[in-house]
Amino acid sequence: MGVTSKNKLSNILRFLPQGIHNIIMKILLFILIRRNPQVSLRLKDINGKIFLLEAVDINKKYFLKIDNSMIKVLSKGVENPDVLIKGSFSTFAGFLLNRIDPDEAFFNRDLQIESGLEFALYLKNVLGNLRG
Amino acid sequence: MGSWEDRKLKKVELCAPAGNLPSLKAAVDSGADAVYLGFSGPTNLRNFPGLNFVLNEVEEGIKYAHRKNKKIYLTVNSYPQKEELKRSFEAIDCGYQLEVDALIVSDLALLGYAREKYSDLRLHVSVQAGISNYQSIEFYKRNFNIKRVVLPRILTTEEIKELKENTDIELEVFGLGLLCINCEGRCFLSSYLTSESINTYGACSPPYFVKFTETDKLRVRIGDTLINEYDKGKAISYPTPCKGVYYNKSTRKLGASIQDPQSLNILKIMPQIIESGIDALKIEGRQRSKTYTQKVTTYYRKALDRYYENPLDFKIQEKWFVELTKSFEGLNFAYGCYLKK
């Protein structure tokens, strides 16, 4: 994707309300987990944990809760999530779609883990099992 | 070492890492000859949360690899203490039943168990055993009928050549990955800061001890010990005690007193490495993603093929090197001890 079209997409994503973002994220995660039941099995060890993914370039926040071995998107945020990860929207998307190496993004500071490294690493490793 | 024609017939095997099934398949499809993996838990040295294989995944991975005539090696290379020994024995049993192509082991009890129970199981000695002379290799051969040794990263190519001239055991060396302080199996730095030893727990600086705090600078702590701080936005290295920045009493300066955070990458000196007589080349990184495995395996496969096409005029594309550098866990590249100590 060229720089201009990337900027256009960023502008559209920034303009969309958080509620729409949450719905899109819900659908994406639902499809991914449904196609990869082995991922769901591995999530049980972090049941109850809340992750905040903050897409800083489009100013959006996604609160994800591991609930009953599923990843649920919370419509309302919480004050102290267990994990806070910051990055650009395209980095998060690339990670979920298995197109970006999250470690490389982390060491190059495209992803920043501000709290809960252990659980962040757990989620990264579990999502590494996604087969598309 | 044999003639060039002999060596051309038996090409160096490319061993790629896999921490999950998608990575295993990516490694196979990207040109690895063998893939090494481990079970979830402390039986091997990549015991990270959520990483590694369960039984049915190993089974599926072996079927996938064998269909494409590739090999799967099972890593059981921690040094289990009494309470964990049974788990490592079970890992060996499972590996044998699933028909892995070799077992990578370091602990003598595990080597003895595997040899006595499964006489036809191919055994490789892990880098964790720190074997660096041919007398040791012969000891393992005599007592456990091992077929391969993964050498520690402390030898020059000349020393590897000398080893090869004195043994018929296969030699495997590391080509790519984060350099550590090269005392594999004997490193206790992580224990000092976390009370967990890499040799028994299976991970250096377990993640629940690592904390990143970002204010004016990014500060990295292991336990309560500050090991590094970085300016905002600057690339960082893998947080381990040996890569920490400490105050050096003799120089009175802060610096990487134990080791610079460097990553090994032998891509540009591949001919020297191959011509030292090695049998296999290992890429490190079972903790990394499928994207990483795919990338590093692809470039190493291309470089190996290019070498065998024309060993006297070996050239790599600069792009391969640049792309590999981007994936480093260290901040710059090094040849380790291969060219000089």
Q: Which of B255, B284, B311 is the last residue of a domain?
A: B255
Q: Which of A51-65, B178-192, B232-246 has the highest mean pLDDT?
A: A51-65
Report residue A114 as tokens.
Answer: 């501000």
- Mean pLDDT across B322-330: 86
B8 pLDDT higher than 70: no
Q: Which of B218, B237, B255 is the last residue of a domain?
A: B255
B252 pLDDT higher than 90: no
A3-15 and A89-96 helices, crossing angle to 10°:
100
- Mean pLDDT across B126-153: 96
B118 and B18, same structural domain? yes
Residue B201, pLDDT score: 84
A-chain residues near B41 (CB < 8 A): none
Residue with more model confidence, B75 or B336: B75
Task: Express each pLDDT in B65-99 by its tens digit.
Answer: 999 999 999 999 999 998 899 999 999 999 999 99
Dist CA B285 CA B301 (whole Å): 16
B141 and B199, same structural domain? no
Q: Is residue A110 part of a domain?
A: yes
In 10 A of CB A35, how many CB atoms? 11
B8 and B87, same structural domain? yes
B203 pLDDT higher than 90: no
* Smallest Cα distance from A65 to chain B, Å: 17
A-chain residues near B208 (CB < 8 A): 117-118
What confidence category does residue B315 fall into, taking pLDDT thresholds of 50, 70 and 90?
Answer: very high
B139 and B86, same structural domain? yes
Q: Is residue B296 part of a domain?
A: yes
B-chain residues near A102 (CB < 8 A): 289
* Smallest Cα distance from A70 to chain B, Å: 15
Question: Hey, are the CB atoms on A117 and B212 less than 8 Å from each other?
Answer: yes
B303 and B161, same structural domain? yes
Q: Is residue A118 part of a domain?
A: yes
Asked if A37 is an interface residue toward chain B (Cβ–Cβ < 8 A), one would say no
Chain A residue closest to B207 (CA)? A118
Residue B6, pLDDT score: 63
Dist CA A98 CA A96 (whole Å): 5
Q: Is residue B98 part of a domain?
A: yes
Dist CA B283 CA B204 (whole Å): 18
Residue A8, pLDDT score: 83
B195 and B168, same structural domain? no
Q: Is residue A116 part of a domain?
A: yes
> How many structural domains comprise chain B?
2
Task: Report strand pairing: B123-125 vs B148-150.
Answer: parallel
Q: Do the Cβ atoms of A68 and A47 come closer than 8 Å? A: yes
Residue B270, pLDDT score: 96
B-chain residues near A126 (CB < 8 A): 50
Residue A1, pLDDT score: 60
Residue B254, pLDDT score: 83
Task: Express each pLDDT in B20-55 by its tens digit.
Answer: 999 999 999 999 999 999 999 999 998 999 999 999
B111 and B55, same structural domain? yes
Q: What is the largest CA-CA distance in chain B?
A: 60
Q: Is residue B225 part of a domain?
A: yes
Q: Where do the DSSP E strands lie in A1-132?
A: 50-55, 60-67, 70-74, 83-87, 111-115
> How many structural domains comprise chain A?
1
- Look up the domain containing A25 and give its range: 3-127
B contact residues 60-119, partner A, Cβ 8 Å cutoff: none
B1 pLDDT higher than 60: no
Q: Tally the C-alpha atoms within 13 A of residue B113's C-alpha that lie toward its C-beta.
A: 20
B160 and B286, same structural domain? yes
Q: What is the CATH number of the domain that holds B267?
A: 3.20.20.70
B182 pLDDT higher than 80: no
Asked if A130 is an interface residue toward chain B (Cβ–Cβ < 8 A), one would say yes
Q: Is residue B340 part of a domain?
A: no
- Look up the domain containing B326 and give its range: 4-179+262-334
Q: What is the CATH number of the domain that holds A122?
A: 3.30.1050.10
B contact residues 174-203, partner A, Cβ 8 Å cutoff: none
B206 and B327, same structural domain? no
B161 and B141, same structural domain? yes
Residue with more model confidence, B279 or B190: B279
What mean pLDDT value characterizes chain A? 90
CA dist list (Å): B285 to A117, B148, B172, B184? 19, 20, 16, 16
B9 pLDDT higher than 70: no
Percentage of chain B exceeding pLDDT 90: 68
Chain B residue closest to A117 (CA)? B207
Q: Do the Cβ atoms of B291 and A100 come closer than 8 Å? A: yes
Min mean pLDDT across A111-120, B252-261, B300-309 is at B252-261
B208 and B67, same structural domain? no
Question: Hey, are the CB atoms on B48 and A125 less than 8 Å from each other?
Answer: yes
Dist CA B289 CA B104 (whole Å): 22
Contacts across the A-B interface (CB distance below 8 Å): 87
Question: Hey, are the CB atoms on B51 and A125 less than 8 Å from each other?
Answer: yes
Residue B86, pLDDT score: 96
Which residue among A101, A106, A131 places its CB closest to the CB of B22?
A131
Dist CA B222 CA B225 (whole Å): 5
3-state secondary structure of B200: helix
CA dist list (Å): B135 to A60, B111, B170, B186? 62, 18, 14, 19
Which residue among B19, B22, B289 places its CB closest to the CB of A102?
B289
Residue B183, pLDDT score: 74
B contact residues 243-302, partner A, Cβ 8 Å cutoff: 287-292, 295
B103 and B49, same structural domain? yes
Q: Which of B222, B240, B255 is the last residue of a domain?
A: B255
Residue B5, pLDDT score: 61
